[in-house]
Amino acid sequence: MSVTAARGFVASGIHAGMRRSSRDLAVVCSTVPSTGSAMFTVNRVQAAPVVVSRAHLEAAEPRAVIANSGSANAATGKRGELDALATTAEAARLLGLRAEEVLALSTGVIGTRLPLERMLVGLRDAVPALGPDGGHDAAEAIMTTDTRSKEAAVSRDGFTVGGMAKGAGMIHPVLATMLAVVTTDYPLGPGEAAGFLRPAVDESFNRISIDGECSTNDAVVLLANGASGVSRDAARDESFRAALREVCADLSTQIVSDGEGATVVLEIAVTGATNDSEATAIARRVATSPLVKTAAFGRDPNWGRVLAAAGSATWNGGFASLDPELVRLAFNGTTVYELGVPLAGDPDLSGAACRIDLDLGLGDGAATYLASDLSYDYVRINAEYTT
């Protein structure tokens, strides 16, 4: 159940002194040549490791990832990029790789420089510690406000997909979200990984929101080394797609469940939209509504907030199509509004999950989204984040 579940991958997670007590530096590496791809934040403010990793992916196939917590190395200027380059160069030297084969990920407070000397010394401890049992340590090392590590793995048809992720706050994806490293021993050729990764991310990490905030450091990396030795055909490629989607969905669900201060997971399902794109816009709007999220925290079936959010979903320069006379809305299977008329349903919202079904009655478009509630603890955690 880790990023080293697939054959030919090793990892480590150590304490390098960037955080007070916990592990804060992770390394993941393929022991044999690999190929891969990554998706990064499209926030206009991009962290130095994002800039450096993009450049490295254009120059070489990735074989290793280094990730630190404690400093985002974002909004740190040219010096931040030089620091990121120095860490990938040192990791490459220790691993016997080209610097361009190493990707860098960082998470922590924006505007703080990477503690470069601690990173370099830490790498000299982390690389010798690499091993097939180091996945859990690596997953712990990338945590920030997470309360638990996030790991997943799927094995089928002779190959394995494994992964780790971190994320609990500043979660609202735009092409990617938080930090995630996914590995597989399935054989992919150079340039092929992106075609498998993008749809898996779009269906999972791209459909979650904790607080509607898009990070400067978001990244999802896929490494594939072919160490399983399986042969490829159309059926096995489809099996790999399904396994990759399953791992990404598992990790993204774990992120929402561990949202900062979260007490409820909201599963929002929109059907009957004019098209899938409009359905996604409406599901996203409901998932990010502070009024919907605070009602969920209070276990308050205030369905009018859902309807109002859905009716104000922006799409294609205007608003997504919605006719309240055609809408059916249900909480946890109990219909509360139908065809323009409120119903006397009394949904049970006492549990740790709430499903919101919104049928627009307009067409075949559909989309789902996962979100967390907005609690007192979320405000406390983020009010005290740097103090």
Query: Per residue in 165-197, pLDDT tens?
Result: 998 665 555 544 479 999 999 999 999 999 999
* Token couple for 61: 């196939």
Same fold, 9-257 and 265-383: no
Domain 9-257 maps to which CATH number in 3.40.50.300, 3.60.70.12, 1.20.1050.10, 3.30.565.10? 3.60.70.12
Q: Which CATH superfamily is domain 265-383 in?
A: ArgJ beta chain, C-terminal domain (3.10.20.340)
Burial of 350 (0-12, 13-18, 19+ CB in 10 A): exposed
CA-based R_g, the chain, Å: 21
Give me 274's structure tokens: 């004019």
Asked if the model's pLDDT at residue 217 lies above 90, the reply is: no
Q: Is the pLDDT of residue 48 over 70?
A: yes
- Measured between alpha carbons, how far is residue 207 from residues 275, 314, 334 in Å? 16, 16, 24
> pTM score, two decimals?
0.89
Residue 248 has pLDDT above 80, yes or no: yes
Q: Which helix (H) or strand (E) holds 337?
A: strand 334-338
Query: Is pLDDT above 70 for 359?
Result: yes
Residue 21 has pLDDT above 80, yes or no: no
Determine contact, residues 283/369, Cβ cutoff 8 Å. yes
Per-domain residue ranges for the chain?
Answer: 9-257, 265-383
Looking only at the bridges linking them, the beta strands covering 102-107 and 64-69 are parallel
pLDDT, one tens digit per residue, over 322-346 is 999 999 999 999 999 999 999 987 8
The residues that are catalytic are 177
DSSP line for 230-252: ----HHHHHHHHHHHHHHHHHHH
In one-letter notation, the amino acid at residue 105 is L
Note the pLDDT of residue 141: 96
